[in-house]
Amino acid sequence: MTMTGIPRNEYPRPQFRRDEWLCLNGEWQFEIDRGDSGLERGLLDRELNSKIVVPFCPESKLSGIEDLDYHNAVWYRRTVAIPQEWRGRRVLLHFQAVDYDATVWVNGVEAGRHRGGFSPFTCDLSGIAEGGDTATIVVRARDGSEKPQPRGKQAREFGPHGAIYVRTTGIWQTVWMEPAPEIALLRPRITPDVANGMLRLEQFITNNTPGMRLRVTLSDERGEILTAESRADLDLAPHVILPIPADRRRLWSIEDPHLYDLQIELVDADGQVIDRAQSYAGLRSVAIDGKAININGETVFQRLVLDQGYYPDGILTAPSDEALQRDITLSQEAGFNGARLHQKVFEERFLYHADRLGYIVWGEFADWGCSRYGPTDGEHQLPGADYITQWLEVLARDYSHPSIVGWCPLNETWQVLLDRITALDDVTRGMFLATKAMDATRPVLDTSGYSHRVPETDVYDSHDYVQDPERFRSRHAGLATGAPYVNAPAQWDVPARFGGDMAWSIPYRGQPYFVSEFGGIWWNPDAREGEDSWGYGERPKTIEEFYDRFEKLCAILLDDPNMFGYCYTQLTDVLQEQNGIYRYDRSVKFDMERVRAAQQRPAAIEQAAAST
Average pLDDT over residues 57-83: 97
Q: Quick one: 128 and 219 in the same domain?
A: no
Q: Is residue 434 part of a domain?
A: yes
Q: What is the pLDDT of residue 3?
A: 60
pLDDT in tens, 124-140: 999 999 999 999 999 99
φ/ψ of 96, rounded to 5, equals: -70, -35
In a domain, 141, yes or no: yes
End-to-end CA distance of the chain: 53
Same domain, yes or no: 176 and 200: no
Please report, for the domain that includes residue 587, its CATH number.
3.20.20.80
**Peptide linkage before 238 cis (omega within 30 of 0):** no
Same-domain check for residues 445 and 345: yes
Backbone angles phi, psi at 343, to 5 degrees: 55, 35
pLDDT at 376 over 70: no
307 and 352 in a single domain? The answer is yes
Measured distance CA(343)–CA(551) in Å, rounded: 27
Q: Does residue 121 have a pLDDT over 90?
A: yes
According to the model, what pLDDT value does residue 490 have?
45
Q: What is the pTM of this model?
A: 0.95
Q: Which of 150, 180, 210 is the last residue of a domain?
A: 180
The mean pLDDT of 410-425, rounded to a whole number, is: 79
- Average pLDDT (453-463) is 95
Residue 190 maps to a domain:
no
Looking up residue 106, the CATH number of its domain turns out to be: 2.60.120.260
Q: Count the alpha carbons within 13 Å of 238 in the hemisphere toward its beta carbon.
A: 24
Does 517 reside within a domain?
Answer: yes
Beta strands in 15-161 (DSSP E): 22-23, 26-32, 50-54, 73-81, 90-95, 98-99, 101-106, 109-115, 121-124, 134-142
Where helices occur in 451-576 by DSSP H, the ranges are 469-476, 543-558
- Give pLDDT tens digits for 459-511: 999 999 999 999 999 999 999 999 999 986 544 444 444 444 446 788 899 99
Residue 293 lies in a domain: no
Among candidates 346, 261, 302, 203, which has minimal Cα distance to 564?
A: 302
> What pLDDT is recorded for position 5?
87
Within this chain, do residues 471 and 591 fall inside the same structural domain, yes or no? yes
- Shared domain check, 377 and 240: no
pLDDT at 520 over 80: yes
Q: Cα separation of 565 and 500, whole Å?
A: 33
pLDDT of residue 414: 78
Give tens-digit pLDDT for 192-231: 999 999 999 999 999 888 999 999 999 999 999 999 999 9
Residue 444 sits in the same domain as residue 585: yes
Residue 472, phi then psi, degrees to nearest 5: -60, -45
Q: DSSP E strands: which ranges in 237-387?
A: 239-243, 260-267, 273-281, 286-289, 292-295, 298-299, 302-307, 338-341, 360-364
| Mean pLDDT of the 426-439 span | 95
Kindly state whether residue 9 falls inside one of the protein's structural domains.
no
Report pLDDT digits (tens) over 573-582: 999 999 999 9
- 330 in the same domain as 258: no
Q: Give the pLDDT band (50/70/90) at residue 4.
A: low
In a domain, 14, yes or no: no
Let me know whether 424 and 454 are in one domain: yes
User: So what's the pLDDT on residue 587?
Assistant: 97
> Any idea which of 11-20, 154-163, 253-262 has the lowest mean pLDDT?
154-163
Domain boundary among 180, 209, 228: 180
Residue 587 in domain: yes
Q: Which helix (DSSP H) or strand (DSSP E) does residue 537 occupy?
A: none
Q: What CATH number is given to the structural domain containing 270? A: 2.60.40.10
Strand partners of residue 534 = 577
Dihedral, CA atoms, 323, 329, 330, 333, nearest 10 degrees? -170
Task: Give CA 523 to chain center in angstroms.
Answer: 27
The span from the CA of 396 to the CA of 358, in Å, is 22
Q: Which domain does 549 fall in, by range? A: 299-611
Going by their DSSP bridges, the two strands 90-95 and 121-124 should be labelled as antiparallel
How many domains, in total, are found in the chain?
3
Are 167 and 95 found together in one domain? yes
Does residue 585 sit in helix, strand or coil?
Answer: coil
Residue-averaged pLDDT of the chain: 93
On whether both 154 and 205 belong to a single domain, the answer is no
Residue 529 reports pLDDT greater than 80: no
- pLDDT confidence of residue 380: 54
Question: Does residue 492 sit in helix, strand or coil?
Answer: coil
Cβ(466)–Cβ(487) under 8 Å? no
C-alpha triplet 412, 417, 419: angle, nearest 5°: 150
Q: Tell me, what's the pLDDT at 559?
A: 98
pLDDT number for residue 526: 79
Let me know whether 570 and 422 are in one domain: yes
